[in-house]
Amino acid sequence: MPCSPEDGDLVSGAPKVAVPDDVAEAVKTLIRWAGDDPEREGLLDTPKRVARAWKEYAKGYAEDPAVHLQRTFDEVGGYDEIVLLKDIPFQSHCEHHLAPIIGKASIAYLPRDKVVGISKLARVLHGFARRLQVQERLTAEIADCICENLKPKGVAVVIEASHACMTARGVQTPGVMMVTSRIMGVFREDDRSRKEVLALMGY
Ligand SMILES: Nc1nc2c(ncn2[C@@H]2O[C@H](COP(=O)(O)OP(=O)(O)OP(=O)(O)O)[C@@H](O)[C@H]2O)c(=O)[nH]1
Ligand SMILES: [Zn+2]
């Protein structure tokens, strides 16, 4: 695939990702379709910027989020209660309109014999969020990944997010949050555990 020449990043000096000509051309077509002239001065660099921005929005495709759960700690001083990372902000894009999904996720698990460094839960979230998503699948993928890799007694993931495809276009209803959850293991089977984890999350 032919590429436009790489130019340097003026701020960091690092080379920028090369943008294939057909990708830049696709963005130009979109600009034309939107009603503007991609050859006017202010838009000349836009196709490459948009292409590179999309490489960032979608950088989850280049990773397997499960790798973040491979380094585990067995010795946690007999800790056998819920571990929760609450209200983690994230951004994703909806697979229907490529519009931003902006929200927060709370991720909890009840360890069996392994815990992970707490930042890894946020890394798993971002690994799946930086793809084209529907919120239900994002929620399920995070929970399943933790379940398969840590084999905990329970997992609970709750996501609250606003979808720009509903706020900035279409039904144009700002201020609405979509809430999804995936509750597994003891949190699903035992009513008290379920209530406890949801209460810790603030629900
Ligand atoms: N369940 C679910 N729906 C989503 C998500 N993101 C966007 N949507 C919805 O996907 C639907 C796509 O519906 P379509 O009728 O095919 O598309 P559309 O004509 O653009 O629909 P409107 O948004 O109603 O204008 C819309 O109802 C969106 O609100 C998501 O994460 N989960
Ligand atoms: Zn959408």
Active site residue 93: no
Residues 135 and 163 in one domain: yes
- C-alpha of residue 165 to centroid of ligand 1, in Å: 7
User: Does residue 51 share a domain with residue 75?
Assistant: no
Residue 182 lies in a domain: yes
Question: What ligand is nearest to the CA atom of residue 177?
Answer: 1
CB 8 within 8 A of CB 14: yes
Question: Residue 74 — very low, low, confident or very high, per pLDDT cuts 50/70/90?
Answer: confident
pLDDT digits (tens, 9 = 90+) for 132-183: 999 999 999 999 999 999 999 999 999 999 999 999 999 999 999 999 999 9
Ligand minimally distant from the alpha carbon of residue 136: 1
Structure tokens at 147: 């379940």
Q: Is residue 62 part of a domain?
A: no
Cβ contacts of 38 within 8 Å, gap of 6 or more = 27, 28, 31, 32, 44, 46, 47
Q: Does 128 lie in the same domain as 52?
A: no
> Which of the pair, 191 or 74, is modelled with greater confidence?
191
Average pLDDT over every residue of 78-89: 93
Q: Reply yes or no on whether 147 is catalytic.
A: no
Same-domain pairing of 87 and 47: no
Q: Which domain holds residue 18?
A: 1-57
For the CA atoms of the chain, what is the radius of gyration?
21
Would you place residue 80 in the very low, low, confident or very high pLDDT band (cuts 50, 70, 90)? Answer: confident
Residue 18 sits in a domain of what CATH number? 1.10.286
Q: Are residues 20 and 101 in the same domain?
A: no
Q: Tell me what ipTM this predicted complex has.
A: 0.95
Percent helix, percent strand, percent coil in the chain, to nearest 5: 40, 25, 35
Name the average pLDDT for the chain: 94
Q: How many independent structural domains does the chain possess?
A: 2
Taking the centre of ligand 1 as the mean of its atom positions, its distance from the CA of residue 3, in whole angstroms, is 34
What is the Cα–Cα distance from 33 to 41, expressed in whole angstroms?
A: 18
C-beta 59 within 6 A of ligand 1: no
pTM: 0.93
47: nearest Cα among 74, 29, 65, 68 = 29
Buried b (16+ CB within 10 A) or exposed e, 125-158: bbbbbbbbbbbeebbbbbbbbbbebbebbbbbbb
Could you tell me what percent of the chain has a pLDDT over 90? 87
Q: What is the mean pLDDT of residues 20-43?
A: 98
